[in-house]
Amino acid sequence: MHTNGKAIIETERLPIKLWLEEDQMEEGALEQARNLANLPFAFQHIAIMPDTHQGYGMPIGAILATQGAVVPNAVGVDIGCGMCSLRTNLTDVATADLKTIMGIIRNTVPVGFKHHKTRQDEAWMPEKRGELPVVDQEYENALYQIGTLGGGNHFIEIQKGSDGYIWIMIHSGSRNIGFTVANHYDDVAKRLNREAGEDVSRDLAYIPESSEYFKLYWNEMNYCLEFALANRKLMMERVKSAFREVLPEVEFVDFINKPHNFAVEEEHFGETVIVHRKGATRARKGEWGMIPGSQGTRSFLVKGKGEAQSFQSCAHGAGRIMSRTKARKTLDLKEERKALKDRGILHAIRHREDLDEAPGSYKDIDEVMRNQVDLVDVQIELQPLAVIKG
């Protein structure tokens, strides 16, 4: 069934509203969406964004609203993962200068599994509020991880905007501290659900609001959200320093930050609910957001339209079209490298193992954007100039 151009699945306890055609969803992601719709505490409907693909328990690019329960896997293992953007006053950067800047960034921002060799300034760490048992346990290690990129689809990208300016965009999360918090509370949720005689096989274990663990998870999730933001801010400071070292007159304005893995209390359809966004960006009316493509395609700075049916949300990126393993096995390294070179992009595809982040492993960002014209208005288009990947 369709309404307003969106497909609706009405075979489950709650409707599932899709911002893409049903046959564009992989079967695994569709099954996970059905599981969400049958949760007894799920509210109103499930919203599926056009960049959706299979995740762990819940699809990436999905929004779940609940009453009386929080689902750790509906936030995800990289709590607070998100993006930030910053505009420079530059209208161009020479390729030689760009290469030098990228070299400095690589020396000051650890990527992949690498951490800093020394503790970073503790002033960057968020203030602790409430009981934080897992954060307390991981705090010392986090002092070496703050200001690091991580791996997977995380990136630092220098871009040329349709507004004429050079922009910086960073995509990263809460590193090991968020991962450890997420896994700890998923284990807690599974134990609680088993003790209550409930099925935990769908990886959607939940913590009821009545449990003492609900407040603990809420405290630690919010700390990880703040840590992820601080992580991006520190990386952005290192990127700014690299620019200043090469181009001393550069100035920076218009910092934008948007997480896309989090849960928060909001008002929707006349009720206070817990909105879980996993690989989805909040898009209230007039609210700025970022929707990146791949390292070979455009990204977009957008303003939300506040669409009620998506729980005021939009996509968080292009979304994967194939698994990392399939990308490494099937994509052609020479072709992917040539396509990026032909576009003049200083890219991060060097070896076959890098193909999981090649443009060919992602959905067509233009189609993703067409599928959500009712959710956001594009403000600025960003063309990639240079990319560092985890």
Q: What are the residue numbers of the active site?
A: 316
- Where are any strands of DSSP class E within the chain? 2-3, 6-9, 16-18, 46-53, 60-66, 69-70, 82-88, 155-161, 166-172, 207-208, 252-259, 261-268, 271-278, 280-282, 288-291, 299-304, 313-315, 376-389
Supply φ then ψ for residue 72, to 5 degrees: -55, -40
Rounded (10°) CA dihedral 23, 28, 29, 35: 120
3-class DSSP assignment, residue 289 = strand
Cβ(316)–Cβ(61) under 8 Å?
A: yes
Q: At what angle do helices 95-108 and 212-246 cross, to 10 degrees?
A: 140
CA distance linking residue 238 with residue 240, whole number of Å: 5
